[in-house]
Amino acid sequence: MTLALGVLISGGGTNLQAILDAVREGRLDADVKVVISNVEGAFGLERARQAGVETLVINHRQFESREAFDEALIAALKEHGVEYVALAGFMRVLRGRFLEEFRDRTINIHPSLLPAFPGVDAQKQAFDYGVRFAGCTVHFVEPTVDSGPIITQRVVPVLEGDTSETLRQRILAEEHVAFVEALRWISEGRVQIEVGPSGRRVTRILPPAVSE
Ligand code: GAR
């Protein structure tokens, strides 16, 4: 199935670039319908334009309430025929109506091994804590911040001489792999959500279909 994808960004957009590259190179069956930034001038918008993808700025500051901002996002995404939403460094929390509208179709990348270190500056939180291994998580979005069924995670070591910045870069390189892989599994219809032993919703990744 070709994923009709909308990508939400707030910044540089290296994860967006990884998605655009994978689509262009035939490694991901997706059609990026629109890239929306809540920040004017975010470099990711330029990346989208370079790839010939339509862009929009929807600045949260121009809305009276969180709800009104969410409604504007929903309307823009629907107008562009988006079915799945990738949060690629989108620094606003989405809940309520948005997650009802795109329930189990909103996918986030977070730069830690969730449930450790949710929230902002996750890489620095992990570094400052003194972890030996860090990483990233791709997950379906639920209303609690940085939570929801995990699709995939990738682990990196913390090395002697690291700073939180070198660790951030090592994690970021793995994010690019993880995000594309998770989206590819979804496009292949291989990601199922089910209720795990503790009652928490978890994913099951089905094996690839065997071609004749
Ligand atoms: C990435 O590290 C992403 O995981 C993080 O923002 C960065 C965006 O980089 N997202 C979060 O922290 C969300 N909680 P990018 O713009 O180069 O893709």
CA–CA distances in Å: residue 176 to residues 17, 19, 22, 72: 8, 8, 10, 28
Ligand 1 pocket member 150 (CB < 6 A): no
> 134: Cβ below 6 Å to ligand 1?
no
Q: Give the pLDDT score at 209.
A: 87
> What pLDDT does residue 212 have?
67
Task: Kindly state whether residues 63 and 87 are assigned to the same domain.
Answer: yes
* Whether residue 99 is found in the same domain as residue 42: yes
Q: Which of 76, 103, 130 is the last residue of a domain?
A: 103
Q: Residue type for 87, please? A: L
Task: Provide the pLDDT for residue 210.
Answer: 83
Residues 53, 133 within the same domain: no
The pLDDT averaged over each successive group of 10 residues in the chain (212 residues) is 97 98 98 98 98 98 96 98 98 94 98 98 98 98 95 98 98 98 98 96 95 70
Judgement on whether residues 118 and 96 belong to the same structural domain of the protein: no
Distance (angstroms) between ligand 1 centre and the Cα of 110 equals: 7
Atom number of ligand 1 nearest to Cα 121: 12
CA of 88 to the centre of ligand 1 (A): 6
Give me the residues paired with residue 7 across strands.
Answer: 35, 86
* CA-wise closest residue to 136 among 145, 151, 144, 128: 151
Mark whether 97 and 11 lie in a shared domain. Answer: yes
- What is the pLDDT, as a whole number, of residue 95? 84
| Residue 148 structural domain | 110-212
Residue in this structure with the two tokens 């986030």, named with its chain if needed: 108
In this structure, the answer to whether residues 124 and 181 fall within a common structural domain is yes
Which residue among 93, 141, 175 has the greatest number of ligand 1 atoms within 8 angstroms of its CB, and so is best to mutate? 175
Q: Are residues 115 and 183 in the same domain?
A: yes
89 lines ligand 1 (CB under 6 A): yes
Specify whether 110 is catalytic: yes
CA R_g for the chain = 17
Q: Which of 41, 76, 103 is the last residue of a domain?
A: 103
Mapped onto helix, strand or coil, the DSSP state of residue 155 is strand
Give the domain-ending residue among 69, 103, 137. 103
Q: How many domains does the chain have?
A: 2
Question: Can you give the pLDDT at residue 102?
Answer: 98
CATH of the domain at 165: 3.40.50.170
| Three-point CA angle 190, 148, 128, nearest 5° | 120
Are 72 and 98 part of one and the same domain?
Answer: yes
Q: Are residue 7 and residue 55 in the same domain, yes or no? A: yes
86 shares a domain with 32 = yes
Cβ of 18 below 6 Å from ligand 1 = no
Is the CB–ligand 1 distance for residue 11 below 6 Å?
A: yes
Are 2 and 93 found together in one domain?
yes
CA of 39 to the centre of ligand 1 (A): 14
- What pLDDT score does 86 carry? 98
Together in a domain, 123 and 148: yes
